[in-house]
Amino acid sequence: MSILVDENTRLLVQGITGSEGSFHTRKCIEYGTKVVAGVTPGKGGSDFDGIPVFNEVERAVKETGANVSMIFVPPAFAADAIMEAADAGIPLVVCITDGIPTQDMVTVINYLHGKATRLIGPNCPGLISPGKCKVGLMPGDIHRPGNVGVVSRSGTLTYEAVAQLTEQNIGQSTCIGVGGDPLIGTTFVDVLRLFEKDPQTKLVVLIGEIGGTAEQEAAEVMKKEMTKPIVSFVAGSTAPPGRRMGHAGAIITGSSGTVSEKIAALKAAGAAIASSPAEIGSVARKVLESQT
């Protein structure tokens, strides 16, 4: 098994005819993802590499059976795109777009409350279930099927962790970048619970960074609900307070946002801590070997 996407995924791409959307759509198709529709207002009735393009998400879903949307819409229109996908009943929306105004995301989060649609992102690399389906930006060739789940706030560190796992002959069940903005749809807590229920996943790699309390919230769930081992790395040990480091959410605004506080919480919850990104693969290997 895997979580959220697999060989049954039927992908719709909002913004399929833009430069980023078209490039990454082709990469998803090359990986084997079933892309069944695109949406670009004003270009309905045309096609993209033989894939039908629609003006509205609702019609695209009705005619193609799309069940996942990937969004490459410019920031000013991304919130409306997310809500349009939810209105069309798409169960999973992956928003790659970065730079969405925070107030727009407040509206989106409130709008999705109580609805069946799960949002991943925004400002995220997407997700991949190796050998089954890729929805996002990640390089498919570094992944291999296996039993380690990966969840991260950083796209680049996700790729680094996956490359190390693959070098250690450790495959992955599903890898998810939840996004680095202050307001996101799917959190560490949500993904940990999904991995806990997934029989294929035997270990989880969690990659955090400075800012916010996502790692501490994950640690509480680890204590109370997780039976599977966790390996964790938290980026930003040298970041000065009050200065944004890369992601909009990676800024220390209080003691809870520091690396030391996050590591302390994760360690207390039983996570094996990698002290540098270069150690993620080797620490995962040691933990897996200790389980056998």
* Distance between CA atoms of residues 204 and 198, nearest Å: 11
Rg (CA), the chain: 19
| Cβ 6 vs Cβ 129: under 8 Å | yes
DSSP string, 208-234: EESSSSHHHHHHHHHHHT--S-EEEEE
* pLDDT score for 195: 98
Domain 10-120, CATH: 3.40.50.720
Residue among 262, 151, 20, 188 nearest 162 (CA):
151
The proportion of the chain whose per-residue pLDDT surpasses 90, expressed as a percent, equals 84
The proportion of the chain whose per-residue pLDDT surpasses 70, expressed as a percent, equals 92
Catalytic residue among 24, 113, 143, 247: 247
Q: Each residue of 247-278: pLDDT tens digit? A: 454 444 555 567 888 999 999 999 999 999 99
Q: Each residue of 180-215: pLDDT tens digit? A: 888 999 999 999 999 999 999 999 999 998 778 899
How crowded is residue 162: how many other Cβ atoms within 10 Å of its Cβ?
Answer: 27
Query: Looking at 16-20, 51-55, 200-204, 234-238, which range is the least confident one?
Result: 234-238
Question: CATH 3.40.50.720 occupies which residues in the chain?
Answer: 10-120
| Cβ 69 vs Cβ 85: under 8 Å | yes
Whether 247 is catalytic is yes
What tokens were used for 284?
A: 């995962």
Q: Does domain 138-291 have CATH number 3.30.1360.70?
A: no
DSSP 8-state symbol, 278? G
* pLDDT score for 237: 52
Question: CATH 3.40.50.261 occupies which residues in the chain?
Answer: 138-291
Q: Each residue of 136-150: pLDDT tens digit? A: 999 999 999 999 999
Q: Each residue of 26-76: pLDDT tens digit? A: 999 999 999 999 999 999 999 999 999 999 999 999 999 999 999 999 999
| Cβ 95 vs Cβ 122: under 8 Å | yes
Q: Before 122, cis peptide (omega within 30)?
A: yes
Query: Looking at 48-57, 107-116, 187-196, 234-243, which range is the least confident one?
Result: 234-243
Q: What share of the chain is helix, strand, coil (3-state, %, to 5)?
A: 40, 20, 40
* pLDDT score for 250: 46
* pLDDT score for 211: 76
DSSP string, 187-208: -HHHHHHHHHH-TT--EEEEEE
